[in-house]
Structures are given as structure tokens and as C-alpha cells.
A and B are shown apart, each in its own frame.
Chain A
Amino acid sequence: MTQLIDYILGGAGSGMIIALMALALVLTWRATRVVNFAQVGQAMFTTFIALSLQTLTGSWWVALLGALVAGAVVGVVVQYLVLRPVKRMDTSGAIIATFGVLIALQAAAGMIWGGDSQAYPQPFNNTALTVFGREWPISAYDLVVIGFGVALVIGLTLLFTRTNLGLAMRATAFNPEVARLSGVRVSRTLTIGWALAGIVGALAGVLVAPVSGISPNSFDILLVFAFTAAVIGGLDSLIGAVSVGIGTGLILSVVSGYSDSSNAPVVALILLALNLALKPEGIFGHNSARSV
């Protein structure tokens, strides 16, 4: 029993990472009805930028800030590339374009920083915490990750509920035409959505890198986990992405604990397939995954 609790707790940090990446997918989906499969590629690229900044300045915080700025910029660029097929109603084209961006970003990163996995500096203590005379499977760094995640979620919630921009974004996500008629500058709102997604993804990248290391492909598996979480959460729902994302992390941690971490992708796939077969609109969503 205590072992189970340990496994569950051990998944909290990675769950938050999955939640953040899922959040990024949801943000772009709400903005443009495109699942940005390049999202992890963008996060990988900005994390490499952060690593270079870190080496240059020695400051973890400067590196983080750099990654977030780069995340916004890359997000906007990718949005411009993807928007054209979307406007042409070429759904397949939009999906394919995001994969094209993913391939190009990974190759570019490989060219610039090499293909080998590199260590990312660990800014906080990553050893198991000892509280009440017992070692817990959770480190100070996990707490930092969770703290960042919670802060971000609170910030986004405030943005969406308390600001005009947030209102405009929600209106656009609900119905772009109506939003346009009520005076929302839709294209600007879409761009901000992608920039925001880029920032959230970049944050996830910098946070996971000290644990996973960073290489052009090191986040690929995260794409599968995050997509699974985003879809089960409803793809339209921010709160769904976050809660299912954390839940996915916990489940995968338990699975890895009791069997083998190589089972995680298979388990994620089973979760995803079950969800799409039984409740394709997700737990929190109203958005149908099925075609006519």
C-alpha cells in the first residue's frame, strides 16, 4: 500500500509536465482547431535555446526567461505556417504541416546542438525529501515543478476569466464568426493563443529537461502522453487538460513502478483508444471527436 502511494506521488512532477504540454495543445486547438503536433518540437528547440543561454550567462532564471520568449516567437511563426491550409479547409494539410515543422525543428536542433542527449542543469535539489523521518518519492524539484504549474494555471484562469483578452479568446474559441461580428480582432486573438501555447510548452520543456536531459527527440514520447491527456480531457477544456494530464502522470508512474517504464507508451495508447472508442468527446469536453 505504501508502495502504491509512493508510486502515485512519484508521478506528480511528471504529471504536471504532461499537464502543461497538454495545456499547450488545448490552447492552439481552441485558437485554430489545429492540434499542433509540432508543440513538443517547439518546446525542445526553446529548451536548447535555454541551455545555450544557461551556458552563456550561468543563470537558470535568465535561461527560463529566454525559453519563454523564444516559445512565444516560435509559436507565432508556426501559427502563420499552419493557418493557410486551415483557411483552405485542408484539415489533412494542417496536420501534415505541423508534422513537417516537427521534423524540421528536430533536424535543425540536431544540426545546431547535436543529436546526443545533454544534461540540463538542475537548479534545485532533486533528491527525495525526508519528512516525518521517512523518505518520500518526491523531491524539492518536483515541488518547484508543481509550483510553476499551479502558478501558471492560476494565471491562465485569471487571464481567461478576468481580462478582456481572455474573454475575446474564449469568444473566438466558441465561435470565430460571432466573435468577429462583436468586434473581436480574431486573427490577433489566434496569434496570441499560439504564442501563449508556445510559452506554456517552453515552460514544460525547461522544467522537464533537468530530469529527462535534452536531445532533439527527447520530448517525443511527451507528445503521445500530452495528446492522450488533452483528448481525454476534452481537447477544448483547459481544466480538463490539466487534471487529466496530472492523472496520466500518476497512472503512468504506477504502471512504471509495478512493471516497467517501457510499458508507459502502450498504457497511454490503451487509455487513448478506450477513450476514443467509448467517450470521444472526452471527460470535460462538448467537442465531438467523431465525424458525421
Chain B
Amino acid sequence: MQNLLRLPGARLVTHAVLVLAIWRVAMLVTDAVDPLTDYYIALVAMYATAMFGMVILVGLSGQVSLGNGALMAIGGYVFAVTTLNWQTVPFTSFPMNGTWAIVFAAIGGVVAGLLIGILGARLRGPYLAGLTLGIAVGIPAIANRFPDLLGGETGLELTVPYPDGGYAPVDDTGTTDEPVDVLPTAQAGASGDATPAPGDELTLDTFPTEQAALPTGQPPLASSGTGTGDELTLDTFPTAQPSGGTGDELTLDTFPTATPEPVASPDLSSAPIDGGTDALAGVDVGFVLERWQAGLAVAVACIVGFVALNLVRGRQGQVWRAVRDDPVAAAVSGISPSTSKVSAFVVSSLFAAVAGAVFAQILAYVGPGAFGLGLSLSLLVGIVLGGRGSLVGALLGAVLLVWLPEFVLQLAGDRGWPEQVTNNAPNLIYGLLVVLVVLVAPGGIVGGIQAGYARLRGRAGRSG
């Protein structure tokens, strides 16, 4: 068996089979569960995608970066700007689509990662952390500089999925091709399964009506409290509106002012449901946006996970660990430490940018608030808790990031906690857990399990 695994291509085959199996199972799950669960799955997969990169950057290569939230912003904005402004792929006649936009986001991520990596690879720990902290704060703020292109503080609304044939010209915004009165009825009839809605773009005027129609399908969302925008996000923007929501991760709190005061349905997931399903797209009646989002996020996570698996469990993983353990010894062994560090940065930014593009499609929106420092910190929290050097740990961390706030919310509902406590409890737990993990179990959940297993085996070995 050992020898079989050493055959050329064996790694490729095993990794591909593993990833395909995971993908298949995940697809079966997404088809079986309700839209809300699908939405959670989409979030978990999106976080995992970004955190696979963090495992490589922070865990293997040992560079503590807080910039990956900003790199997700780059991915998200590239996705948004290219889909909104290009009808065809530049220099070709291919019609633009969501996949192309993700590719462009990935390219943007690679370029940004190269720039940051070249600067950062020469820096020691705290300097790198500080620089990337600045990047996490500075890059989303750039959106404010270019309000026309990037939507400024308000951000950009997206149609999700990307409409076949592209967006309608900008001046058509807000007008619909079909009678407006179709909208509410169609909506009301669908319990969670949003029917094709006519609007070409998700505009502010169509937004509230659509939202109002929604809660029928998604009972749990209605109960979700609003998050006071006090979570992790660095909001220098005091205007940040609480937009509550189930998906209310560490990051969504400063969700844009563009979001109307959510009265009927505060959840973010509901927003895109109908705005996206363009009648022109010919989407069937059974289309569930969350299911589509989960499918997209899971597929992307699987592809990225496949690449990460190949790298981590291949020679490159050894090289990253070697450079982290002893850069001098690595250099005299024939490894360029700076190239290795930059490559870790580029790979993790690529993953982050792709995750950002997926995030944009989950939110149907990009804006500075969604990609703030809080997002970067979430990614760090996730991999530290899961296990700094482990892809499985990243997945567990992603689950923890999505599940814990929900769990706390439920607990709070049962116990009748004040909103102020409920909203902050997840972050308090994250913060304390991070400190605890660093102090007593630097390997996180996965490291702890491995240590426990090793101890068990050791005991068995001694007694046997």
C-alpha cells in the first residue's frame, strides 16, 4: 500500500478522489436541506476557501497576516467591477460570466499577493502583522476614494447569479421589463424557493418589497436579533448600520448603510434571492438562490482545497515548513527563503481573492464594511481554533465561525439574554478561546485531537 502511494500520479488520484467524494456528499446535503442551511453551508465553504490560504501562510510558512480580509475585498471588488462593467471578456468575444469574473478576481489576488508578499517576506513577525493590519484597514477604505467605480461607502449591489447576457445598461436601472405586480405574488407563493423575479438589478426601490415577501420561507431568520455594529469590525464609520441577520458573522455587522432598515427580514441571505433570478436567465421555478450559492461556494472550496491539499501534502509543504523552522538551514539546503515566503503569500491571496468573489455572490453586494478588519480577524480566529497548520482544522474553524453565533443566538433566546450580551457573546468566546488555545494547545482542535490520539496510542502500546 505504501509503495502504491508512491507511484507517480498516486497523489493526484487520491486527492482528486477525496475531493470529488467530499464534493458529491456536500452536493447531496445541499440538495436535501432547507435554504437557510444551504446559506450556512455557503458561508462555511467560503470561509474555508479563504482559510486554506491562511493555513499555508500562517500555519506552514509562519507569517501572521491580518491582510487576508483585504485580499478578499480585492477579489470581491474585482468580481463586482468586472461583472458590472464588462459585457464580454476583454480582447475576446466571449460573453462575460460569473466564472470569468472569479478568474479575474483570482488574477487580482495574485497580483496583490505578489506586491504584499515581496514587501512582507523580508519582515519579522510583529512588523508583518502590523503592516497587514494596516492593509486590512487601508484597502477597504480605498473604495471611498472611487465612489463612481467602487460605490464608495455604500458599496455595490450585485445581481446574483450573474445574469445571462450580462447586466442591462446602467440607465435602465430600476425599471423592470415585466409588470411589477407580478413580483409580490410570485414571491408570496414561494416558500423559500424564490421564483424568478423580474427586476434586472437589485436596486433600492425593489429591495424592500422583495424582502417583505420573504420571511415565509425562512422562519429562523425572523427571530435573529440585530447585531449592534460593535463586533470586530474596525468601523471608523460611525454610521455603520446594524443589520442583523443570521449570517451575522463577525464581519457583516457594518453591513452597508445601503441596506434599508431591515424591518421584515433582516437576513442578508434573503436580499439576493429574487433580485438575482433574472427572468431572462431562464432559471426554473424551483431555483433556490441559497442552494445555488452553496453549490458555487462548495465547488470553489473543493477546487481550492484540492490545490491546497496538493501543496500542503507535497514537496512545497515541506519547503514552507522548513523555511519557517530555520531559514538559514533552508537557504544552505538550496531553498530560497524569500521565494518560499512570497509564494505562500501569493497562494493565500489567490485563495482569499477567490473566496472574496464567492462572498460577494453570497451577499450579492460588496462594500467596505463587509470586508473590514473584522473579516481578517475572523479568518485568524478560525485557523487558530481549528489548528494553525491543518486544512481539516481550517474546515473546522470555518464551521465554528458560522455555527457559534447561531448557537449563542439560540441559547440567548432560550435564556432571555439581553441583546447587548447576545451580540457580543460570540466574539468574547472567540477572543478567550484564541488566548486559551495559544496558551495551552497551540495546535488548536486538530492538534489537540492528534495529541490525545498519540497519548492513547502510546498508552495502548505500553500496556500491550
Interface residues of A (CB under 8 A from B): 29, 34-35, 37, 81, 84-85, 88, 90-97, 99-108, 110-111, 114-117, 213, 215-217, 220-221, 223-224, 227-228, 231, 235, 260, 262-263, 265-266, 268-269, 272-273, 276-277, 280, 288-292
What is the interface of chain B mostly: helix, strand, loop, or mixed? Answer: helix
Contact assessment for B377 and A99 in the assembled complex, using a CB-CB cutoff below 8 Å: yes
Q: Which of B31-39, B182-190, B226-234, B302-310 contacts A (4 or more CB under 8 A)?
A: B226-234
Selected from B129, B425, B434, the residue in CB contact (under 8 A) with A103 is B434
B459 beta carbon closer than 8 Å to chain A? no
Chain A residue at minimum C-beta to C-beta distance from B253: A115
Contact assessment for A268 and B127 in the assembled complex, using a CB-CB cutoff below 8 Å: no
Chain A residue at minimum C-beta to C-beta distance from B116: A273
A-B contact pairs, 9 of them (CB 8 A): A85-B439, A96-B438, A97-B438, A115-B420, A265-B141, A269-B135, A272-B130, A290-B123, A291-B123
Contact assessment for A276 and B119 in the assembled complex, using a CB-CB cutoff below 8 Å: yes
B122 beta carbon closer than 8 Å to chain A? yes
Contact assessment for A221 and B236 in the assembled complex, using a CB-CB cutoff below 8 Å: yes
Contact assessment for A108 and B434 in the assembled complex, using a CB-CB cutoff below 8 Å: no
Chain A residue at minimum C-beta to C-beta distance from B127: A289
- A290 to B231 Cα, complex, angstroms: 33
In the complex, which residues of chain A have a beta carbon less than 8 angstroms from the beta carbon of B64? Answer: 92, 95-96
Nearest-neighbour CB distance to chain A for B332, whole angstroms, equals: 11
Chain B residue at minimum C-beta to C-beta distance from A215: B230
Contact assessment for B133 and A265 in the assembled complex, using a CB-CB cutoff below 8 Å: no
In the complex, which residues of chain A have a beta carbon less than 8 angstroms from the beta carbon of B229? Answer: 115
Contact assessment for B442 and A85 in the assembled complex, using a CB-CB cutoff below 8 Å: yes
In the complex, which residues of chain A have a beta carbon less than 8 angstroms from the beta carbon of B126? Answer: 29, 34-35, 91, 95, 235
A272 and B131 contact, Cβ closer than 8 Å, known pairs A95-B64, A114-B228: yes
In the complex, which residues of chain B have a beta carbon less than 8 angstroms from the beta carbon of A221? Answer: 137, 234, 236
Q: Total interface residues on B, using CB and 8 Å?
A: 59
The 3 closest A-B pairs by CB, nearest first: A115-B230, A104-B431, A100-B434
Other than the given A95-B129, A107-B431, A217-B230, 15 more pairs (CB < 8 A) read A81-B435, A99-B434, A103-B431, A104-B431, A116-B230, A215-B230, A216-B230, A223-B133, A262-B144, A265-B141, A266-B138, A268-B138, A269-B137, A276-B127, A290-B123
For B111-150 the 0/1 string (1 means CB < 8 A from A) is: 0000000010011111101110111011001101100000
B432 beta carbon closer than 8 Å to chain A? yes
What is the interface of chain A mostly: helix, strand, loop, or mixed? Answer: helix
B164 beta carbon closer than 8 Å to chain A? no
Nearest-neighbour CB distance to chain B for A270, whole angstroms, equals: 8
Nearest-neighbour CB distance to chain A for B325, whole angstroms, equals: 11
Nearest-neighbour CB distance to chain A for B68, whole angstroms, equals: 13
- A106 to B426 Cα, complex, angstroms: 11
Chain B residue at minimum C-beta to C-beta distance from A271: B134
Contact assessment for B129 and A220 in the assembled complex, using a CB-CB cutoff below 8 Å: no
A269 and B420 contact, Cβ closer than 8 Å, known pairs A101-B431, A220-B234: no
In the complex, which residues of chain A have a beta carbon less than 8 angstroms from the beta carbon of B238? Answer: 117, 213, 215
A104 and B435 contact, Cβ closer than 8 Å, known pairs A216-B230, A289-B124: yes
Contact assessment for B427 and A280 in the assembled complex, using a CB-CB cutoff below 8 Å: no
Selected from B235, B327, B421, B435, the residue in CB contact (under 8 A) with A217 is B235
Nearest-neighbour CB distance to chain B for A267, whole angstroms, equals: 9
Selected from A107, A227, A262, the residue in CB contact (under 8 A) with B141 is A262
In the complex, which residues of chain A have a beta carbon less than 8 angstroms from the beta carbon of B388? Answer: 92
A93 and B442 contact, Cβ closer than 8 Å, known pairs A104-B431, A107-B427, A220-B236: yes
Contact assessment for A266 and B141 in the assembled complex, using a CB-CB cutoff below 8 Å: yes
In the complex, which residues of chain B have a beta carbon less than 8 angstroms from the beta carbon of A223? Answer: 133
In the complex, which residues of chain B have a beta carbon less than 8 angstroms from the beta carbon of A277? Answer: 119
B424 beta carbon closer than 8 Å to chain A? yes
In the complex, which residues of chain B have a beta carbon less than 8 angstroms from the beta carbon of A103? Answer: 232, 377, 381, 427-428, 430-431, 434
- A185 to B230 Cα, complex, angstroms: 41
B98 beta carbon closer than 8 Å to chain A? no
- A220 to B421 Cα, complex, angstroms: 21
A92 and B62 contact, Cβ closer than 8 Å, known pairs A115-B420, A221-B234: yes
Selected from A81, A88, A106, A291, the residue in CB contact (under 8 A) with B427 is A106
- A289 to B380 Cα, complex, angstroms: 22
In the complex, which residues of chain A have a beta carbon less than 8 angstroms from the beta carbon of B127? Answer: 231, 276, 280, 289
Selected from B62, B141, B373, B424, the residue in CB contact (under 8 A) with A111 is B424
Selected from B125, B236, B328, B425, the residue in CB contact (under 8 A) with A292 is B328
Contact assessment for B134 and A268 in the assembled complex, using a CB-CB cutoff below 8 Å: yes
Nearest-neighbour CB distance to chain A for B262, whole angstroms, equals: 17
Nearest-neighbour CB distance to chain A for B120, whole angstroms, equals: 8
For B417-448 the 0/1 string (1 means CB < 8 A from A) is: 00011011111101111110011001000000
In the complex, which residues of chain A have a beta carbon less than 8 angstroms from the beta carbon of B439? Answer: 81, 84-85, 97
- A47 to B270 Cα, complex, angstroms: 39
Contact assessment for A114 and B420 in the assembled complex, using a CB-CB cutoff below 8 Å: yes
In the complex, which residues of chain A have a beta carbon less than 8 angstroms from the beta carbon of B137? Answer: 220-221, 224, 265, 269
Contact assessment for A100 and B431 in the assembled complex, using a CB-CB cutoff below 8 Å: yes
Selected from B145, B377, B380, the residue in CB contact (under 8 A) with A263 is B145
In the complex, which residues of chain A have a beta carbon less than 8 angstroms from the beta carbon of B96? Answer: none
Contact assessment for A97 and B235 in the assembled complex, using a CB-CB cutoff below 8 Å: no
B297 beta carbon closer than 8 Å to chain A? no
In the complex, which residues of chain B have a beta carbon less than 8 angstroms from the beta carbon of A104? Answer: 427-428, 430-432, 434-435
Contact assessment for B228 and A110 in the assembled complex, using a CB-CB cutoff below 8 Å: yes
- A88 to B137 Cα, complex, angstroms: 30
Selected from A99, A108, A224, A231, the residue in CB contact (under 8 A) with B380 is A99
A105 and B119 contact, Cβ closer than 8 Å, known pairs A115-B228, A269-B135, A272-B134: no
Chain B residue at minimum C-beta to C-beta distance from A282: B127
Nearest-neighbour CB distance to chain A for B407, whole angstroms, equals: 15
B19 beta carbon closer than 8 Å to chain A? no
In the complex, which residues of chain A have a beta carbon less than 8 angstroms from the beta carbon of B420? Answer: 110-111, 114-115
Nearest-neighbour CB distance to chain B for A109, whole angstroms, equals: 8
Contact assessment for B442 and A110 in the assembled complex, using a CB-CB cutoff below 8 Å: no
In the complex, which residues of chain B have a beta carbon less than 8 angstroms from the beta carbon of A117? Answer: 238
Contact residues, B225-268 vs A (CB, 8 A): 228-236, 238
- A260 to B327 Cα, complex, angstroms: 43
Chain B residue at minimum C-beta to C-beta distance from A84: B439
